[in-house]
Amino acid sequence: MSFEINKKDLTKNGIFLILSFVSLTLPITIILNSNNTPNNPSLLSLLFWDIQ
């Protein structure tokens, strides 16, 4: 029982970490992109580069 609860907590923490990471990197990539010429493909490539 305790192991299953720990697994659920781990998945919740993982989802929260991913969401917080995305919410932190999105404004940074948008700011970096606004300094350059604003193109949606470059923003997408920046986001995918951050994920990798």
Q: Is 16 within the bounds of a domain?
A: no
20-47 pLDDT, tens digit each: 998 888 888 877 776 665 555 566 666 6
Q: Is 33 within the bounds of a domain?
A: yes
Helix orientation angle between 40-51 and 2-35, rounded to the nearest 10 degrees? 140
Q: Is 8 within the bounds of a domain?
A: no
Question: Which of these, 17, 26, 20, 15, lies nearest to 50 by C-alpha position?
Answer: 26
Q: Which domain holds residue 28?
A: 22-52
The reported pLDDT for the residue numbered 39 is 52
12 confidence band (pLDDT: 50, 70, 90): confident
Q: Is 9 within the bounds of a domain?
A: no
Q: Do residues 32 and 46 make contact, with C-beta atoms less than 8 angstroms apart?
A: yes
Mean pLDDT (whole number) for 9-26:
87
Q: Is 13 within the bounds of a domain?
A: no
In the chain, the number of structural domains is: 1
The reported pLDDT for the residue numbered 30 is 77
Q: Is 42 within the bounds of a domain?
A: yes
